[in-house]
Structure 1
Amino acid sequence: MKTETLNKLVQFRHNLHREPELGFEERDTSRKVGAYLDSLGVEYVSGIGKTGIVAWIIGTVGDSDASVGLRADMDALPIEEKSGVEHISTRTGRMHACGHDGHTSILLGVVDYLKENNDFAGTVYFVFQPAEEGVGGAKAMIEDGIFERFDMREIYALHNWPSLPIGQYGLIAGPIMAGGDRVDITIHGRGGHGGLNPHGCIDPIRIAAELVHKAHTIIAREVDPLNPAVLSICALQSGDLAGFAVIPDTATLSGTIRALDEATREVVRSGLRRLCQSLEQYYGAEIELVIEDKFGVTDNDPGATESARQIIADCFGEEALAVNHKPCMGGEDFSYMLAERPGAYIHVGSGDAEHSRGLHHPEYDFNDRIMPDGIRLLTELARKSLEKQLQ
């Protein structure tokens, strides 16, 4: 890729980083992506899944119904940035702490390259997805008919991965990211005086303490130890620290369930439901439990994964494939797209001395050094997918 084009993409990324937007609020981001596509003369449709965009380039080598999709996410996170970089976020409590600004810029780089090098047969679709961070962007695009309107036979995505060094690529067939739920629990008890009549109360804090303790034993005693799973209660709110002698009426808790297969995920859900029901009955409280499906298991298609592994080896050498790469218990709503079409999700090493902070850390910044290889990888994935479909 030309140095001039790469510099333009880096500046574009820095501009996105300065003005981050949360899920389904990416109106400025979508306009910027649209303006870049307009400058290239590339066709696209906006407003898919509220703020998403799908662009496409049709190859010039004959007529072919071969097609492939490449996806990048666009949204930021509700985090106050502390990175200290020159292009630091200008929006209070908002930052690109997961590198979606980089993913979007990489995908625009692929568009830029293939617009000038369209000597292929078939169609490459470019999916700029909103609201990946647990807000349902992939689902929204699917519900808007993305795969009916744009016939992608395969689909691929990458994600920068600071725990892998630059030059390493993490890729496995089957589950690579966990399925995940949001858990919300409200305990309705009966408040009162903590010194005068605690015996006349139904103490929600007491119930919450027992619930947290017992919930964290579900994995150890109800889940097959060979099936990875997580249940974490991450927040608890009740009462007022100034009211040291006041037993409150309610306690609220939130947390998450993660697993690498749906059967295990349901075991954990079932265990939590039974726990809440038993505590409700024993203490005479009312316990509301809401389990919200946030994302499915990101399940890489074996054939697409093998193709991607070969492309990585051909482009960067066999040594670029991370040895014994493990699935991650984080979540990714690209899972819903992979449930609709075969494809693969790839972890791209981005760690170096200047970029050691992990994803979602307030001091994180995307590593621009991976941009050229990210563009090359997605470009080759698209080309080889089309070639494979013609065989």
Structure 2
Amino acid sequence: MLIFRQLFDQQSSTYTYLLADSATGDAVLVDPVFEQVRRDMALIEELRLRLLYTIDTHVHADHVTGAWLLKRRMGSQIAISAASGAQGADRYLQHGDRCVFGSRHLEVRATPGHTNGCITLVLDDERMALTGDCLLIRGTGRTDFQRGDAHAMFQAIHLQIFTLPETCLLYPAHDYRGLTVTSVGEERRFNPRLGGQLSEGDFTGYMTNLRLPHPRQIDVAVPANLKCGAATEDPAQLADPGWAPLTYTFAGIWEIHPQWLEENYHSVQIVDVREPDEFEGPLGRIPEARLISLGDLAGRVSELAQDRPIVTVCRAGGRSAQATVILRQAGFEAVANLAGGMLRWRAEGRVVENGSS
């Protein structure tokens, strides 16, 4: 069975796509965003997948790719079009190549026009295609920089995308209105730039007069992406917290390992967000834990020290996960949740106060 996830970066309006073979766990990630690497890694690890490689559909101008950082952290290989001009990739893709993951594959189709190195990735059964910045939902990528060519784009779309089955679902690299998917049949009929009876001349005239401002990140993104996102070290915003061995979840929560907490509970602030009767109940409490029920937490954050990490605890880990959100909104950065809560803590036989045996 195919595993397919469409992920979104709000800052750059970029879609990242995860595809995997559920039988083997082999996976590929298309158009990863540098700032979202932690999110993408969390999803891959939670689904117990093995990331074989990342694929960029072109050299992006609006965000830096996460390809290099994912290679560094997960051992994946970097793939990009041979026509892109990018350096540092492990595989340079040509028209007709196949990117294999398990028993599935993506076929590479050259679709230049937005840039000369743009590709579209077609799933083996032609039920879906990832069109990058070539064909968007009721639109297309721009053609006014990075060696763009409206004539080449018109031909590429008609020969490489519109020849797919009408029911083939199309997933773009960007959308700025919250739209997520379209189809070959829809775009052939309704795309205002090139659908219906519109000619190549109609299309090039439309594209010549778009008059769009250049992407805000172009001066940073293009040079970085020509090196596949390579940097000398991880930026501070993606560095893992250093105060404890933590795990980042796809839900966006930092979680702490119970063994570390048991050995170091004196060095952190433990905030138990259960109700008073639970705090005094049979599950007991972690030594030095402080009771601040979840409903009271937002109004009592001033009682907590800003210079010591905080670990939140509840019965099963749900309320305490929300507590980390509240604390981060209040300006606390070193915050982690005890996943599984007191149920897990007791099941592992860890030290408690005031609990029943």
**TM-score between both structures, scaled by the size of structure 1:** 0.21
Q: Which has the higher contact order (CA 8 A, sep 6+)?
A: 1
Q: Greater helix share, 1 or 2?
A: 1
Which structure: larger Rg?
2
